[in-house]
Amino acid sequence: MACELPHTHGLPLSRFSMEDIRREVVRQGIVASIGKTTIWRWLSEDAIKPWRHRSWIFPRDPLFAAKAGRILDLYEGIWEGESLRDGDFVVSTDEKTSIQARRRKHDIMEAAPGRSMRVEHEYERRGAFAYLAAWDVRCAKIFGRCEAKTGIAPFGLLVNDVMKKEPYCSARRVFWIMDNGSSHRGERCVRRLTKDWKNIVVVHTPVHASWLNQVEIYFSILQRKVLQPNYFESVGEASNRVLEFQEYYEEAAKPFEWKFTRKDLQDLLARLPEKQAA
C-alpha cells in the first residue's frame, strides 16, 4: 500500500505519511491495530519513503541517445570518434531568466553567535533581468552579460563577446553546446552563427535535457552564492553583483569533474522501459 498512490484508495491525498498508512490499513481491516513505529520499521527495512517525491522527465526526443552521446563525447575530448586537438574548444551556454531584484522591507540581520542570518520575508520588486553565460568546459573560463530580456540579439552579443577574443577567434573549432530555447533553436540558429563565425560547431542538447549542459552547474553555484538570499536595492545592483561574481569565481575555477559517460547513458536508457512499466 505504501508504494501505491493514495487516490487509488479513494483518499484525498497526493502522498502517504506514516499516520495516513496507519489509518488506512486499520480502516480497510488489514490489521486491527498497528503503531507508527512498526510501520516505520517495516518501511525502513525496504527503504520505502512514500512521503518523498522527485521530479523526473522521461526522454521523449526520438534522437535522445545520439544527441546526448555527442555531448558526452565532447566532455571526454572526443568528436565523431576522434580526439579533440589543441585548437578545439568546448563552450557550454544558456540563459538564466527572470532574475528578480528584491528590496526587503527590513534590513538583513547579520549572523551572530547562536543565531543564523535573518532575512525579512516581505519584499518590494525592483525589476528583473536575464543573465546569459558561456562556460569554457576545458579551460574553466566564464563569459557573461546581463540583459533586460533574452532573445536572438542578446544571445548573439554573448557569442560575439566570446568569439572576438583569443584563442576562440583563431581556433580550429569552437563547439557551442546549447539547449533548444527560442534564442538559439534549430537550423536557423546554426546558419546564423556559422555565417558570422566559420569555426563554430553548434551542438544542441536533446529536448528537456538541461542536465547535460555544464553551464547549469555554474548557474546553481551562482544561485546559492549570490542570488540567495535575494536582497538588492535595484536591478543595477543585482546585475553588477552577478558580473563581479563571474570574475571572482573564475579566479579559482577548475573544470567540472564530469563523470557521466556515454556508457552510463546507455545503461540509463536500457533501464527506462522498466521504470516506465513500473
Percent of the chain at pLDDT > 90 equals 92
pLDDT reported for residue 235? 96
Asked if residue 276 belongs to a domain, the reply is no
Q: Which of 201, 204, 221 is nearest to 212 (CA)?
A: 204
**Residues 195-199: contacts with CB under 8 Å, at least 24 apart:** 196/156, 196/159, 196/160, 196/163, 197/159, 197/163, 199/171, 199/172, 199/173, 199/174
Q: Is the pLDDT of residue 274 over 80?
A: no
Confidence of residue 49 (pLDDT cuts 50, 70, 90): very high
Pair 117, 22 in one domain? no
Residues 13 and 113 in one domain: no
* Cα angle, residue 209 at apex, residues 205 and 212 outer, rounded to 5°: 70
| Cβ count within 10 A of residue 119 | 16
Q: 252 near 245, Cβ under 8 Å?
A: no
In the structure grid, which three cell numbers stand for residue 277, read together?
512499466
Q: Determine, yes or no, domain membership for 225.
A: yes
Q: What's residue 276's pLDDT?
A: 65
Q: Quick one: pLDDT at residue 275?
A: 65
The pTM of the full predicted model, rounded to 2 decimals, is: 0.86
How many structural domains does the chain have?
A: 2
Does the pLDDT of residue 187 top 90, yes or no?
Answer: yes
pLDDT digits (tens, 9 = 90+) for 8-31: 999 999 999 999 999 999 999 999
- Residue 116 confidence (pLDDT): 95
Alpha carbons 239 and 235: distance in angstroms, whole number: 6
Return the number of other C-beta atoms located less than 10 Å from residue 235's C-beta: 17
- Do 200 and 74 fall within a single domain? yes
CA atoms within 13 A of residue 111's CA, in its CB half-sphere: 4
73/82 Cα distance (integer angstroms): 10
* Residue 54 counted as domain residue: no
Residue numbers of the domain that contains 208: 64-263
Please write the tens of the pLDDT for every residue from 189-227: 999 999 999 999 999 999 989 899 999 999 999 999 999
**127 and 177 in a common domain:** yes
Paired with 79 in beta bridges are: 82
